Structure 1
């Protein structure tokens, strides 16, 4: 008994594809009704135009404006813009000084303010640290919550360094917008007048935490993403209320004690003991300038006598607390070299070190110009690009119809399905991820036409090869698919890896090309598996294609099934040769061998080729006429001559 074969349900596969497309565009429809989604993808700067801002760096010492500091400033601005959700922004240097920031579309005022605001890092003392949620009207403010963990001191007399534990999460997060102005619960505005004439120190909470500051702290909601985008550092002489980038803690900070420009260097690495051995713990090493060393010595000396959380200092970048470490008991850092430790990963330690380095830029910026830029050139290029894509698509269709006749219509239908899915995915990404389609991205979509058509050609040619072997169309479709899908997956894998490498290593518009190339490669796999193969299985059952109509593209005569062909090893096979018959019979087994009927049925699974050929020969021998007698054996025949009345035979 033959083992059960897997049942193919092409209609069910097509149904799943249809549900996928419906879900994709259903999500977009819901977004257009309840959110900011649109039915068209957002366009990048080269296709839509936008706003261009030219910034000029300003420094106390003109020698501080170098190509390196300009490059670091560009990275700070790019980090701000990317965290605000704006994609395809162009941030470049102009000449030796200016920085040009071009934002696509109509950016929000908050995004523009992020660009205009100079990157500033500050060290402020922590006065209060609490839960990120706001306090309700009439409710008491929460008790300060200690966020730093207990630390272990570092015995390193050579560097006189100190270990500090991370109070806040050290992962990279979007820089945040200024904290909203509080709305006090009382009918009269809360007073912003200190209760003392002068502070005892920058950590004097009684002086700096006025009723207005307390009301602002109570009203602040750090879980709101709006308060996690930074940009406003606050008055350096007053208390400052802000969040950490993750929205897990909110703070009241004292006045600025050390400016970010006093940081000499910062780097991430492994903790090293006094004997020079590495412990495997991730740390960030920080070193100050001579002026910063004196300031940091004074800060660490004062913080030693304070309780949690006022024994901590906050590192503030663009108005957000990126780190709030505490000091080891009894540790005073007098040589300007500090070591920040905590629950770091390699990525988070590198991120903090970069932030400390970027924040040390001794630069501020003035806006030289701010203007709207058009996309006239980009629109013209887009029009020509679309024409080129249309020409390429028409050529693919013409080739498919010429080479595959009616079967080429399946190629056209598959391209249409791929285009619909690609359009829906790009539009969805524009809404949910802020993606913008650029001119290089359009080029990637055009290249994808050839990649997608190549997959269909591989599949169709495999089917034709199976038909030349004498199989029926339904058999050829399944056997051809088993052979073609490996080739298709290998080809698409190479394209996808190339797109990923190009995206990682490239910058600017080239990344747009790599993104769409990788996206369409994945969509090609989906279309071939969920549409092309199931549709081929369905049309193989029709009389037009299954019968090999001359216009179907699967005509046996056109494929050379009935003409001699080279079979390898010096053999030429034709339909009348024994080899051809043996191959055809290999798919069949005799029924009623020896009965003389010569009928046959499909071969039973599990038999070898030799067994099937032996059975076929037995069937042919059973149907063949007996051989003519010859030699002495012929004497055994009897004959009767009319009129003689006798019979002749062998004499014994």
Structure 2
């Protein structure tokens, strides 16, 4: 058995193993009742639930709802829906309303999550840590009550995005003496730490609970005290998994008068915080713009400017005065929106006057995004459900049936063309298309189970388009094989040489299709993303089928008598290929004549049209020069005589006689 044959059989075994793995996984899901043998359908094919939300301002609110506020609400709802695992949802604005269309029949928890209003809270940071959950809370990570400067430095080693004054975000405002303290000194840290007794860093949660049997009291206990880290809060902190996307949107905001834990969307850290000290009602507005130095020079970065109302300014003054004297991370306050810490800037000095700015080497887009989030959270707006009803499919089974019929017609045309052009070789084409279809169906059904993917009509269109892409790969390969046969190679040799050339072309073509699909998926929304997804998926499967089925099958059938000897119905008959006119490039057309007769014709014929047919201009001139060189020799008598002598021999004889 040759090396090529062994490689072909291994490739077919790999393909069989992949298909077996896909459908074995589906079989397990069907057996356990977790999924079915059919993929889930999107809103346009299966219907779903439509929820119309109307934003309502609280009584006495003077702000107006702008389009940017609605866009921010749509973005928050979209993150909630994505985190819940619902795919192919449509979230749009119609006038001042927000329309949320969820495919299938979502549960009531998902509906309540969509209608939940986003809230903004300002909480003091007590502790930060790794995003992964911990299995034990035997060692409480709080700093010592008598922490020294060394302990403070150790605590501040936690990677936080707003600690450094030069690179991390800091809250900067006008202080009473117009100066800003860049950092907390050791003496200030010690004084602050000794003012409020806190548990030791090595203290267990039980010890902490014993020290605070009665628990903290809102309005009396210092909001930055570790007493707010009760047993329940510590348990929530240990269990919180900030590597899970579901914990980044739509979470409960907790009791505003108790401790709280949440994930940071900017730094992916885990935060433990005290009670709410300010809310969105205290923030008047938030804007973004270029950052300036104290001398009025541009820094090249951007900042977010906060403006508080009178009541908020007074609260913010008290908060910054207290936490600016604490060690890191307790000198930070967390801005919590929709259950996620969107920013946790540190405070280096007391900020009065009701105006502050958040800096931290923001780009323009980052600053605008944070400002929009804060502005939206400051808006006294709630979302009321105006309509919540089950809706029928916008297109339905009839349109799906028409789409499938269109795909079947396209597939039939490809088969007819293959039979007409390649005869029995069309069996390889049909087998490749069938395997590509089986693989694609299995993958889409598997994704419907694992990722809750839903097939839309746009996705069906992507599957139909993929038929042409897949067939194009086969045509490129087959035509390369026929080119090699026209050159006089045997079929096994032609298959090997054609694959080396066709493989590059197929990979380049599929790479462009895949790049286009990825770009379209990233830039588009809604149903267009479904088209891009199926197009990219089928492109990858096309490469898989060509590599693991089409080429290996061609290697194997090249060894058979029917195809190897070029049967008339094999599609690889050299005599049929030789009679075809083939474009060779640079204006040259090959008529199918063999190479040896043509070479003889080039050397012997001078002006015969048949001799120069299919030659380039350069080849014609070369043939003419050869003919011109041969002419003097014929005139000089360099032609062989019937008896084997030459005129030159006779001339030499006469000379000797003379």
**TM-score for both structures, normalised by structure 2:** 0.73
What is the distance in 1 between the residues matched to 2:519 and 2:62?
Answer: 40
CA 1:163–1:377: 2 relative to 1, 3 Å: farther
Where 2:525 maps in the other structure, the secondary structure is coil
Q: Give the corresponding residue for 1:112.
A: 111
Query: Of 240, 261, 264, which residue of structure 1 is paired with 2:285?
Result: 264
1:517 is matched with which residue?
Answer: 535
The corresponding residue for 2:47 is 49
**Aligned ranges for residues 126-275 of structure 1 at < 5 Å?**
126-127=125-126, 133=133, 143=142, 151-152=164-165, 199=220, 202-203=223-224, 209=228, 214-219=231-236, 221-223=239-241, 225=244, 229-236=249-256, 238-245=257-264, 248-259=269-280, 262=283, 264-267=285-288, 273-275=293-295
Range with greater deviation from structure 2 (412-421 or 144-153): 144-153
Unaligned stretches of 5+ residues in structure 2: 144-154, 184-204, 207-211, 602-639
Contact (CA 8 Å) 1:59, 1:364: kept in 2 or not? yes
| 2:84 corresponds to | 84
Distance 1:161-1:409 versus aligned 2 partners, 3 A rule: farther
The 3 A distance-change label for structure 1 pair 408 and 140 is closer
- Alpha-carbon distance in structure 1 between the residues aligned to 2:337 and 2:476: 55
8 Å Cα contact 1:441/1:515 also seen in 2: yes
Shift of 1:407: 0.5
Do structure 1's residue 359 and structure 2's residue 377 form an aligned pair?
Answer: yes
Shift of 1:544: 0.6
CA deviations 1:280-308 (Å, max 9, x no partner) are 8x775232244444543332123234455
Whether the 8 Å CA contact 2:172–2:358 is kept in 1: the answer is no
* Residue of structure 2 in register with 1:439 after alignment: 457
Q: Is the 8 A contact 2:218 2:258 kept in 1?
A: no
Q: Deviations over 1:20-78 (max 9, x none)?
A: 33333344445556794544322211122222211111013475123332222112211
2:469 is the counterpart of 1:448: no
For the 8 Å contact 2:482–2:572, the answer to whether it is kept is yes
CA distance in 2: counterparts of 1:574 and 1:318, whole angstroms: 74
Contact map agreement 2:578 2:591 (CA 8 A) in 1: no
Structure-2 separation of matches of 1:156 and 1:222: 31
CA offset digits 1:511-549 (Å, max 9, x no partner) = 111111122122212222221112112111111111111
Q: Counterparts of 1:510 and 1:287 in 2: how far apart (Å)?
A: 38
- The answer as to 2:121 corresponding to 1:122 is yes
Alignment of 1:286-435 (within 5 A): 286-291=305-310, 292-306=312-326, 309-328=329-348, 330-332=349-351, 334=353, 336-341=355-360, 352=370, 355-375=373-393, 377-435=395-453
- Secondary structure at 1:322 match in 2: strand
Correspondence list, 1:609-624, <5 A? none
- Whole-angstrom distance in 1 between the partners of 2:213 and 2:548: 66
Deviation at 1:277, TM superposition (A): 6.2
Say which SS state the counterpart of residue 41 (structure 2) adopts: coil
Q: TM-score, normalised by structure 1?
A: 0.74
Alignment of 1:11-90 (within 5 A): 11-31=9-29, 36-60=34-58, 61=61, 64-90=64-90
8 Å CA contact retained: 1:217, 1:252: no
Task: Please give the root-mean-square deviation of Cα atoms over the aligned residues, in Å.
Answer: 4.6
Instruction: Quote the offset at 1:88 in angstroms.
Output: 0.7
Match of 2:518 among 500, 509, 522: 500
Please give the per-residue CA displacement for 1:622-644, whole angstroms capped at 9, x wherever unaligned. xxx995247797999xxxxxxxx
Q: 2:498 aligns with which of 480, 484, 504?
A: 480
DSSP-derived class of the 2:305 partner:
strand
Rate the CA distance shift 1:288–1:551 in 2: closer, same or farther, 3 A: same
CA distance in 1 between counterparts of 2:430 and 2:366 reads: 49
Shift of 1:232: 2.0
User: Residue 101 of structure 1 corresponds to which residue in structure 2?
Assistant: 100
CA drift of 1:447 comes to 0.8
Which aligned pairs between 1:558-597 and structure 2 lie closer than 5 A? 558-561=576-579, 575=593, 578-580=596-598
Seen in structure 2, the aligned counterparts of structure 1 residues 193 and 46 have a Cα distance that, compared at 3 Å, is: farther
Q: What number of residue pairs does the alignment pair up?
A: 571
**What does 1:599-638 align with in structure 2 at a 5 Å threshold?**
627-628=642-643, 629=645
* Pairwise CA distance, 1:223: 2.3
* Displacement of 1:163: 9.8
Q: Out of 300-309 and 429-438, give the one that drifted further.
A: 300-309
| Counterpart contact for 1:261–1:359, Cα < 8 Å | no
| Alpha-carbon spacing, 1:164–1:429, altered in 2? closer, same or farther (3 Å) | farther
Q: Distance in 2 between matches of 1:289 and 1:58?
A: 22
CA contact (8 A) 1:131 1:249 kept: yes
SS in 2 for 1:552: coil
- More helix per residue: 2
- Residues in 1 aligned to 2:273 and 2:651: alpha-carbon distance in whole angstroms: 127
CA 1:239–1:340 in 2, change beyond 3 Å: closer, same or farther? farther
C-alpha contact 2:325 2:331 (8 A) present in aligned 1: yes
CA 498–229 in structure 1, closer or farther in 2 if over 3 Å, else same: closer
**SS class of match (1:367):** strand
1:351 Cα shift? 6.0
Deviation of the 1:384 alpha carbon: 1.1
Compare relative contact order (CA 8 Å, sep 6+) and give the higher one, 1 or 2: 2
3-state SS of paired residue (1:9): helix
**Counterpart of 1:458?**
476
Assess if the C-alpha contact under 8 Å between 1:89 and 1:102 holds in 2. Answer: yes
| Aligned-partner Cα distance in 2 for 1:400–1:242 | 63
